[in-house]
Amino acid sequence: MSAFVKGVRDILPAELEQRKSLYQIIREVFSQEGYQEVITPTLESIELYSNMSGLLATDEMFKVVDEEGQILVLRPDVTMPITRMVATRLTDLPAPYKFYYITTAYQSGRNQSLDLREKTQAGVELIGRSDFTADLEIIALLLKTMQAAGIKEPLIDIGQSALVEEIIKMLVLTEDKREDVVEYLTDKNSVALKEFIEKEKVTGQRKKLLERLPNLFGQPDEVILELRDLLFTNQSLQLIDQLERLFKNLRELGLAEYITFDPMLMTGQGYYTGVIFQGYARGSNYLLASGGRYDNLAEKFGESEPAVGFAVEIDNIISYLYDIDLSLIEAETKILITYQNQAEYIQAYQKAESMRQEGLVVEILAVGEYEAYQSYRKFDQIVRGGQ
Amino acid sequence: MAKLRVAMAKGRLAEEATQLFQKAGIIIPEDIFSSRKLIFKLPEADIEIFLVKPADVPIYVEYGTADLGIVGKDTLLEENRSLYELLDLKFGACKFALAGLPDKKKKLQQRKVATKYPAFTRRYFRSKGEPVEIIKLNGSIELAPLTGLADTILDIVETGRTLKENGLIIFEEIIDLSARLVANRISMKTNKEQIDRLLNSISRAMGD
């Protein structure tokens, strides 16, 4: 018998302490902006997730069959269940709907977080606001969350799903080449794009755009300046105007140094319709957060609500904090009370209780007992109970 | 500033790659191929080189343990990892091809294909809609059709000499291959200036 299951793991006390501190920090940041915590079920109907092109494929989800033969999935994502919850249960409440969660999501396939199949995410969903300041607030909130979590030089890479669509429409001449071009652009595969240009005899503005796109990302103003020369449809130029305003506002909030722009940024989630973004730390290779606008998702549940949100990857943040050797744990005073005999034990117990009420961490052991444990726990103070 | 970590496929590709780096003005330690060390720090350029097995290069880069990798396109196609492919380095040029004994080119039965690249082979035949039996081998692929283990092989072909000497012919050329410079998707964003600088000096060295 093998007692180990691939892709899941135990979380031991030392790491859990760090996690609990991180959760506490995140809860404070989220609730200060008026978000309320919710918990959605671990099991969801597979119908919720099927017919959702671009989202995690159903074969990458964990499936369970219930006693009636219905197929259920372990939630692969939290945005979908929260949208379902709002659209089906809370519509009599006034918009906007502001919720946050700290919970686990499950994926059976190889995805962003590589081999971990159960991962913890903390995120917010702002449902019912279409205005552009909602995007701005969400990006600023993500930055604040990353900073509060101890990330030294956070970086938010911003893209736009609708712009990606528009650019692909401009580039693709025939439908059968679409998939290839999208793949090359997603992979920033300059080599394959060069071959494609030659083979398909792409010329003019399309050629210029295809050649430049794999290397066109980074400092927002510079990228936008160049894109204005390369793009040639009204729709795409309007989207550029909107992005320019977003970047200008982020600069006015003093956040410019944390922001980059990738016009070809694409994430796995197929439900995004507008601004999308990913969070990193400069000089480090963890995906720390991702999010974006998803205006069409609530429609699937019969309600039309615009929405924007993000999730931070707790497991990756913990790994990052471990790499930079940063502890979020607030030191607590640990006290050991020792006793010699039964009479002293009662006194020791009562003393421990009164100290615990003052908020101290107190343990009781007989003198000389479990000595290895005593030194392992590194007590700040050892008190004799009979005195 | 953090160091850029470059994973290189041990062997001929790493030799060609380090020559290219030298040409680009990056000083490479002399003992890189004689020493048994696995990590080489290049102090002047803020670069660290790992020498790993070819198939491990895409893994190091996808996980972000290496920011960049130098590896053959054959390995990239087999591993099929999520990476950015930045540059065709041109050296190590060869092809993926199907080959076998001349009289076995047309077959009525389902093909048996021997290869070192089972994942790519599966994808290739699936895209053509042809059902095949795939036999994974670890070397001397040419032996498979000669001994009757398989009727077709999918392998890299450079000059075609080995095939010829064993009486095999190419049935079909699939795709041109060569060494590629690949990058971790996140590193490309978080270390952009450093990667751009290295990329520019390598491109310039290749142009000379």
DSSP string, chain B: -PPEEEEEETTHHHHHHHHHHHHTT----GGGTTS--SEEEEGGGTEEEEEE-GGGHHHHHHHTSSSEEEEEHHHHHHH--S-EEEEE---S-EEEEEEE-GGGSS-SSPEEEEES-HHHHHHHHHHHT--EEEEE-SS-TTHHHHHTS-SEEEEEESSSHHHHHTT-EEEEEEEEE-EEEEE-TTHHHHTHHHHHHHHHHHHHHHH-
Specify the CATH number for the domain of residue B163.
3.40.190.10
CB contact under 8 A, A188 and B86: yes
Q: A4-31: per-residue pLDDT in tens?
A: 777 888 999 989 999 999 999 999 999 9
A123 and A44: one domain?
yes
Q: Which residue ranges of chain A lie beneath pLDDT 70?
A: 1-2, 51-56, 109-115, 173, 268-269, 386-387
**Has residue A275 been placed in a domain?**
no
Residue B182 CA to residue B83 CA, distance in Å, equals: 7
A102 and A120: one domain?
yes
A166 and A312: one domain?
no
Q: Is the pTM of this model over 0.90?
A: no
Reading the block at residue A262, the tokens are 């990738």
Contacts of residue A184, defined as CB under 8 A and 6 or more positions apart, other chains included, come to A192, A193, A196, A214
**Has residue A243 been placed in a domain?**
yes
B171 and B111: one domain?
yes
- Residue B203 is predicted with a pLDDT of 92
* 3 state DSSP class of A59: helix
The residue among B175, B186, B200 with the most chain A CBs within 10 A of its CB, best to mutate, is: B186
Reading the block at residue B36, the tokens are 């048994």
A75 and A171: one domain?
no
Of A114, A155, A194, nearest to B189 by CB-CB distance is A155
Q: B135-171: per-residue pLDDT in tens?
A: 999 989 999 999 999 999 999 999 989 999 999 999 9
Give how far Cα A384 sits from Cα of A262, A333, A356, A360, A376, Å: 64, 17, 16, 16, 19
- Domain containing B158: what range? 94-176
Reading the block at residue B51, the tokens are 């020498």
The residue among B5, B190, B199 with the most chain A CBs within 10 A of its CB, best to mutate, is: B190
Chain B residues whose CB is inside 8 A of the A191 CB are 85-88, 180
- Residue A1 is predicted with a pLDDT of 62
Which chain A residue has the Cα nearest residue B193?
Answer: A218
- Residue A342 is predicted with a pLDDT of 87
Which chain A residue has the Cα nearest residue B180?
Answer: A191
Q: Which band of pLDDT confidence, cut at 50, 70 and 90, is reported for residue B89? A: very high
B23 and B79: one domain?
yes
- Residue A338 is predicted with a pLDDT of 92
B98 and B76: one domain?
no
Are the beta carbons of B133 and B112 closer than 8 angstroms?
Answer: yes
Contacts of residue A253, defined as CB under 8 A and 6 or more positions apart, other chains included, come to A136, A140
Element (H, E) at A212: helix A204-212
Determine the distance in angstroms separating the CA of B141 from the nearest CA of chain A, rounded to an integer: 28
Residue A16 CA to residue A21 CA, distance in Å, equals: 9
- Residue A269 is predicted with a pLDDT of 66
The label of the residue with tokens 């969903």 reads A125
Q: What is the ipTM of this complex?
A: 0.79
- Domain containing A38: what range? 8-153+283-330
**CA A315 and chain centroid, separation:** 10
Give how far Cα A361 sits from Cα of A59, A101, A336, A365, Å: 47, 29, 9, 14
- Residue A220 is predicted with a pLDDT of 96
Average confidence (pLDDT) over B17-42:
88
- Residue B171 is predicted with a pLDDT of 93
Residue A331 CA to residue A352 CA, distance in Å, equals: 19
